[in-house]
Amino acid sequence: PKPWFLCKLCQVVWNKHDISMKIGIVGLGLIGGSLGLDFRALNKHTVIGVSRRPETCAKAIQRGVVDDAHTDITFVASADVIFICTPIAYIASTVDQLIPHLSSTTILTDVGSVKASIVRTVEPLWPNFVGGHPMAGTAESGIDAALSKLFVDRAYVITPTQKTLPDSIAMIESLARSLHSKTYICTPDDHDRAVAWISHLPVMVSASLIEACLNEPSDDVLTLARTIASSGFRDTSRVGGGNPELGMMMARYNRDEVVRSLKAYQTQLSTITQCIETESWSELEEILQHTQTSRSTFL
């Protein structure tokens, strides 16, 4: 096709999605609240929310996260697109509760950090479902932690299957791009294997580092270590000091991939331990040289 035709086509797709919509958000915490702030800031959508506690709903309205909010799940049923932003354990049950109240055109999407188990459970319940994962966050949780522009320049992974409706994928992609996220499309399984490496394994490794350090038997040494700890320890312990509920959910709902990556990590640790024990300095140097050059390429 001629370039002008492609431009026209993009324009048609863009126009189709550049419309004002009613967006529903269930779970007004860090991610749900941050989505609400940014969707409202676009000044074209109506954003309505649901959370379990009335205090959360009141705070969400007061902070401008939503136009209106309620504790009753049916409150978001009239939305065109509903983002399920509850902890992973409640995503499927939330969809279950919503279904009797939805019109067949309603697009459901979620933001869970794990995709295969969610997509496998939710897709048969609601065919107009698109799995998603905005790759942004902080160590905080709850409505007070919601931040505007949290998703700018961050990856937003969309995980359709063969059955996902192309128009619904395009709609979620377009909404994610309107937050200035970079969108990526992959299978739920590939997503889970990839995030095990770059998100879930680091949480377990970082938590293990903190635990191992705290198990130092000498109180004096531990006090000294705490006093002189600087950016190295702060960087490497950061993700291990995050929301425990989220770490638990990663392990529980992405169990196979987390165990797989932990075992590979354990093998690598054994290699390094052996190098040091046997004073194989050139072998150790080779590993460290390889990681130094590969890290910059990888990132």
Distance separating alpha carbons of residues 275 and 254, to the nearest angstrom:
32
Q: DSSP per residue over 218-252, as a string?
A: -HHHHHHHHHH--HHHHHHHTGGGS-HHHHHHHHH
- Residue 98 makes contact with ligand NAP by CB under 6 A: no
Q: Are 209 and 236 in contact (CB under 8 A)?
A: yes
* CB 226, min distance to ligand NAP, A: 26
Q: Which span (38-46, 138-146, 182-190, 200-208) binds ligand NAP, by CB under 6 A?
A: 138-146
Distance CA 109, CA 79 (A): 12
Name which position in 23, 24, 25, 26 contacts ligand NAP (CB under 6 A): 26
In this chain, which stretch among 49-57, 150-158, 215-223, 278-286 interacts with ligand NAP, using CB under 6 A? 49-57
Binding mask 105-124 for ligand NAP (x = CB under 6 A): ------xxx-----------
**Binding flag, residue 184, ligand NAP (CB under 6 A):** no
C-alpha distance from residue 19 to each of 12, 46, 145 (Å): 12, 11, 29
Distance in Å, CB of 114 to ligand NAP, minimum = 7
Torsion of CA 110, 113, 115, 116, to 10 degrees: -140
Positive/negative CA dihedral, 180, 175, 30, 237: negative
82 contacts ligand NAP (rule: CB under 6 A): no
| Residue 247 touches ligand NAP, criterion: CB under 6 A | no
- Give the footprint of ligand NAP on this chain (CB under 6 A): 26-32, 50-53, 56, 85-88, 90, 94, 111-113, 133-134, 137, 141-143, 145, 243, 246, 249
